[in-house]
């Protein structure tokens, strides 16, 4: 079975080709269909910003490492007991790449993101087919195409970020980073009634994209003084909610200074494993009483993500599509930053044309 995988560990951006990480199409065995499993013929699998980190060895260095967790497809086969959620052969679906065991203490306590067995079930979705437990899959609404459906998982991240902010109608909100998660979160924050909604992003095209999708203000953190602009936009009060979706180690410290007193800062990206950020507890937690939190994965968020997905404008996130056999080129384009998102077409379906 054709599967996209990391075949050499290293940065995909390394100028030295001999040291650069490598992503290729390799042959993986098709997963067994258990009694409660569903086999899906994958239509689209989008490249996530975390995928290059896998190439860098973030989660281990034993290659090949199969890739792909943002996907949609069509049900091809059902296990003998995989009928509790009503799925049938031919249904169009998307899903959660994580299977939570349901029996460990974190799962029992409602903290499935910390499932003690979460790494025991890692099946790559950037492939011809994937076999998942039925609990991981959601039938797509008729109004959501397979291409749009592959964004269910990143939409779930945006929903969970919103949960962690505890945003209220009228809160002033800033989002740092105009990549896919930042753009989706922007649209979700607009749904919540955010005001002074601001995108902080150095790439002009992504600032323009944010403006098209609801940003009231944009800030170029390279060419502008983001602290002065924050004072101007918020009348000197700062943002009630600040969300980092950039993962940039250059950005994460400064966003504490644009948060309002009593505000919430959500670090909603993936950061280098060895990175440590100095934090003055007196300034930020005592005098400003900031609430700082992060986001790992998105348990419970998928049903609500499915509800809002039809209402999101994601055409600009699904414009760059490459065939499965061209996965190496797709990843090269992804790391170039030319497109905000790159999608791999794993199989062709008539609906998708």
Q: At what angle do helices 152-165 and 180-191 cross, to 10 degrees?
A: 60
Q: Distance between CA 261 and CA 282 in Å, rounded?
A: 13
Nearest to 302, CA basis, from 112, 120, 104: 112
Is 156 an active-site residue? no
Nearest to 177, CA basis, from 256, 252, 259: 252
Q: Distance between CA 251 and CA 101 in Å, rounded?
A: 36
Q: At what angle do helices 180-191 and 204-212 cross, to 10 degrees?
A: 30
Q: Could you say which of 11, 45, 50, 298 is catalytic?
A: 50
Is 50 an active-site residue? yes
Q: Could you say which of 45, 53, 145, 339 is catalytic?
A: 53
Q: Under DSSP, is residue 39 helix (H, G, I), strand (E, B) or coil?
A: strand
Given the structure tokens 């460990």, which residue do they identify? Answer: 104
The pair of structure tokens assigned to 83 is 């009928």
Q: Distance between CA 90 and CA 230 in Å, rounded?
A: 50
Q: Distance between CA 83 and CA 281 in Å, rounded?
A: 52
The DSSP output letter for 282 is I
Residues 6+ apart with CB under 8 A from 311: 191
CA 314 → CA 87, 119, 184, 207, 270, distances in Å? 26, 30, 8, 15, 22
Residues 6+ apart with CB under 8 A from 36: 79, 81, 82, 133, 134, 135
Q: Distance between CA 156 and CA 139 in Å, rounded?
A: 15
β-partners of residue 137 are 95
Residues classed as catalytic = 50, 53
């Amino acid at each position: 079975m054709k599967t996209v995988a990391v075949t050499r560990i290293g940065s995909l951006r390394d100028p030295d080709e001999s040291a650069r990480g490598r992503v290729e199409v390799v042959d993986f065995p098709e997963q067994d269909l258990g009694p409660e499993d569903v086999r899906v013929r994958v239509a689209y699998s989008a490249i996530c910003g975390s995928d290059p980190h896998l190439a860098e060895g973030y989660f281990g260095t034993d290659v090949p490492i199969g890739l792909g967790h943002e996907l949609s497809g069509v049900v091809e086969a059902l296990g003998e007991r995989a009928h509790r959620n009503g799925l049938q052969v031919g249904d169009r679906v998307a899903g959660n790449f994580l299977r939570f065991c349901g029996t460990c203490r974190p799962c029992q306590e409602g903290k499935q993101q910390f499932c003690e067995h979460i790494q025991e079930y890692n099946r790559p979705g950037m492939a011809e087919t994937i076999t998942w437990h039925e609990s991981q899959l959601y039938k797509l609404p008729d109004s959501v195409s397979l291409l749009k459906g592959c964004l269910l998982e990143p939409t779930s991240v945006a929903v969970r970020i919103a949960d962690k902010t505890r945003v209220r109608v009228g809160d002033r909100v800033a989002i740092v980073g105009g990549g896919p998660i930042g753009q989706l979160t922007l649209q979700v924050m607009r749904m919540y009634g955010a005001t002074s909604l601001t995108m902080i992003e150095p790439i002009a095209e992504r600032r323009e994209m944010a403006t098209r999708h609801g940003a009231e203000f944009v800030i170029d953190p390279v060419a502008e003084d983001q602290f002065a602009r924050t004072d101007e936009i918020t009348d000197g009060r700062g943002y009630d909610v600040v969300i980092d979706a950039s993962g940039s180690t250059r950005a994460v410290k400064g966003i504490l200074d644009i948060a309002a007193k009593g505000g919430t800062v959500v670090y909603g990206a993936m950061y280098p494993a060895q990175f440590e950020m100095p934090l003055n507890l007196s300034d930020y937690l005592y005098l400003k009483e900031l609430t700082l939190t992060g986001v790992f994965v998105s348990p419970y968020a998928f049903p609500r993500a499915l509800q809002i997905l039809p209402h999101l404008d994601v055409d600009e996130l699904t414009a760059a599509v490459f065939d499965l056999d061209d996965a190496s080129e797709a990843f090269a384009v992804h790391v170039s930053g030319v497109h905000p998102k790159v999608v791999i077409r794993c199989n062709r379906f008539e609906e998708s044309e």
